[in-house]
Amino acid sequence: MTAKIVIFVIIALLIFIKFRPALRSVTTHGIYVFFAFESLLALLFVNMGFWAVHVMSLYQVMSWVFLVASAFIAMSGFYSLKKYGKPINEWENTTVLIDRGIFRYMRHPPYSSLILLVIGILLKRITFVPLVIGCICIVFLVTASLVEERENLKKFRDAYTTYKRTTTRYIPFII
C-alpha cells in the first residue's frame, strides 16, 4: 500500500511539473488538462486492483472496448497532429488548422480518447468514489476542450468557424 502511494505521489508531481506553466492562467486550456490528468491518475489508482477481476463480465468486456477505442483514437489523433499540424515546440501547438485524418470527423480526438479512457477505467469497478472521480475528470476534459475551442477561434478565425460546422466535437456524427 505504501509503495502504491509513493508511486502515485511521484507521478502526480511529474504531472504538476509538466503543467506548472499552464497553472498560472485559468483562461487557457492547460490548467483544466492538468486537473483532468490528476483526476485520471486518481481514478486509475483507485481502480487499479480490479483490472483482472471477473474478466469475462459484461462490465469488464465493455471496459476493454472503451480502452481499445481510446487507444485507437489517441494514436490517430497524435499521428494527425504530428503529420498535418506542423507543430512548434510541443505536439499540440499546431501552426495550421488540421482538418484531415481523424480531425476530419472530430475536433478533439485527444479529449475524446481521454473521455473513453476514463469510462474504460471506471467500468473496471463502478462504485461511488470512482464514479465521482470519473465525473470530475470528464468535466475538466470537456471544459478544457471548450476553452481550447475559444483559443482556436482566436488563432484560426473564420477557418475554425467553418471547420466547426463540418465536424463534431467528440464522437463523429453524434456529439
Q: What is the pLDDT of residues 81-109, one digit of tens each?
A: 888 887 776 666 778 899 999 999 999 99
* Percent of the chain with pLDDT strictly greater than 70: 96
Least reliable range by pLDDT among 49-53, 82-86, 112-116, 123-127: 82-86
Q: For residue 81, what pLDDT is reported?
A: 87
Q: For residue 92, what pLDDT is reported?
A: 66
DSSP class of residue 85 equals: S
- Is the pLDDT at 52 greater than 90? The verdict is no
Span 118-138, average pLDDT: 96
Query: For residue 171, is it within any domain?
Result: no
Query: For residue 174, is it within any domain?
Result: no
**Burial annotation 51-63 (CB, 10 A radius, 16+ → b, else e):** eeeeeeeeebeeb
- Is the pLDDT at 1 greater than 70? The verdict is no
Q: How many domains does the chain have?
A: 1
Query: For residue 175, is it within any domain?
Result: no
Look up the domain containing 70 and give its range.
Answer: 2-166
Angle at Cα 70 formed by Cα 54 and Cα 153, nearest 5°?
A: 150
What totals of helices (H) and strands (E) does the chain contain, helices first? 6, 0
All three cell numbers of 150: 475559444
DSSP class of residue 175 equals: -
